[in-house]
């Protein structure tokens, strides 16, 4: 019997590091049972769950390039804030219209930055967010749809968008 405890589970990739450092050897581990702290369970209770239980942890960065200008002359520019607003609204359809209701995913825009003052249309808007999913096919589709929706939304307004997605921790 061997007990191992994973460090840096959420942000440091502790499980991967443990495997790279041969934590599953000497003695060799034939089976492993993972436990995760779950504050909703009463103290002393253990819950079990078949299949996928914890979602993947992926992130994205979006840069929308428009044409900056003076707020009194919006027709001379391409406002990346307006493009970002439309893109944010449109990506909400990924889960509601592209994901089987019996599967699960979330697309969260958690940060948006643009502009510096009241009367200047900025050149650029940036967005950051996360994509957790409980099914690998849904995960892949969500990444692809995010990219398409944002790029085509930007194109429709005469702007350009660069979408970078990163696959983080896998589905547990």
What's the pTM?
0.84
Tell me how far apart the alpha carbons of residues 10 and 116 are, in angstroms, rounded to a whole number: 34
Q: Prior bond to 73 cis, omega within 30? A: no
User: Cα separation of 36 and 34, whole Å?
Assistant: 7
| Mean pLDDT of the 120-128 span | 98
| Across 26-38, average pLDDT | 79
The alpha carbon dihedral of 145, 146, 151, 155 has a sign of positive
The more confident residue out of 169 and 166 is 166
CATH of 57-169, one of 3.40.30.10, 3.30.70.360, 3.40.50.2000, 2.160.10.10: 3.30.70.360
CA angle, residues 116, 66, 76, in degrees to nearest 5: 90
Q: What is residue 16's predicted lDDT score, i.e. its pLDDT? A: 77
Q: Is the pLDDT score of 92 beyond 70? A: yes
Categorize the per-residue pLDDT at 14 as very low, low, confident or very high, splitting at 50, 70 and 90: confident
């Amino acid at each position: 019997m061997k007990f191992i405890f994973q460090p840096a589970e959420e942000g440091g990739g502790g499980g991967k590091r443990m495997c790279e450092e041969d934590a599953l050897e000497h003695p060799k581990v034939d089976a492993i049972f993972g436990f995760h702290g779950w504050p909703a369970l009463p103290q002393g209770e253990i819950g079990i769950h078949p299949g996928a239980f914890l979602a993947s942890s992926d992130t994205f960065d979006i840069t929308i390039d428009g044409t900056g200008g003076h707020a009194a002359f919006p027709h001379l520019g391409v406002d990346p804030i307006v493009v970002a607003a439309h893109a944010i609204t449109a990506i909400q359809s990924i889960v509601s219209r592209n994901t089987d209701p019996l599967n699960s995913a979330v697309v969260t825009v958690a940060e948006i930055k643009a502009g510096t003052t009241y009367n200047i249309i900025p050149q650029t808007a940036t967005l950051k967010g996360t994509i957790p999913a409980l099914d690998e096919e849904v995960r892949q589709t969500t990444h692809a749809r995010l990219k398409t929706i944002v790029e085509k939304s930007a194109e429709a307004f005469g702007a350009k968008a660069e979408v970078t997605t990163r696959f983080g921790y896998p589905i547990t």
